[in-house]
Amino acid sequence: MADTNINSLSPTLTKQGIQALATLMRTGIKGKITHIGIGAGAYTPTDEITALVDERALAPVLSVSGMGAQAFSLEALFDPSADDGFWVSEIGLYFEDGTLLAVWSSPDEVRWFHGPGTQQIIQFMLILSALPADSIEVYGDLDLSILAGAGFAKMHQAITRNAITLVNNAFELHQQSQQIEDLMENSK
């Protein structure tokens, strides 16, 4: 499992995201960011964008730390890429209803390589100073150290199984060599 800290992003807020947030706020509800999307599109985003250009993976926000009314530290766990992997050059933040609130992308910059065979934890700082204070909440309630603990437990289980298999194989080889010795003794 790779840990990729992509530091801070300066996302572009989308018109549809701002409209959705305004509608929620009129009813007294905060906008709830629940998912992060990543993709291979490389462009300069505008506020007209409604989806990532080349989204390849979507993951729920797993862990969040509030750092003030408009600042959050987010973490998400992305499963291995289903293809040969891709350079992440676009990142989207989604409300729980699937509305794209904000997008980061650059035609000249990538953040990391999302490859096959490796889960990746991404972590970054999100500052939404262009939005009203306390208008956004980010949903994530999983302690990622639990995932690391589970990973170590699986690895330990696999090592134990391999050790048991090696001991059983060594015992069988010893029994077979004993049988061969007995046969050789009897054939004399």
Q: Tell me: do 30 and 115 sit in the same domain.
A: yes
CA 26 – CA 6 distance, rounded (Å): 34
Q: Tell me: do 156 and 169 sit in the same domain.
A: yes
Give the count of domains, the chain: 2
Q: Tell me: do 121 and 147 sit in the same domain.
A: no
Q: What is the mean pLDDT of residues 154-173?
A: 54
Q: Tell me: do 63 and 109 sit in the same domain.
A: yes
Distances (CA, A) of 152 to 62, 65, 149, 157: 19, 25, 5, 8
Q: Tell me: do 40 and 95 sit in the same domain.
A: yes
Q: Tell me: do 131 and 152 sit in the same domain.
A: no
This prediction has a pTM of: 0.67
Q: Tell me: do 130 and 91 sit in the same domain.
A: yes
Question: Which residue is it, tokens 């730390």?
Answer: 65
Contact 100, 92 (CB under 8 A): yes
Residue 54 has pLDDT above 90, yes or no: yes
Domain that holds residue 121: 2-142
Q: Tell me: do 123 and 149 sit in the same domain.
A: no
Model confidence pLDDT, tens digit, residues 120-158: 887 777 776 666 666 555 656 554 444 455 554 455 455
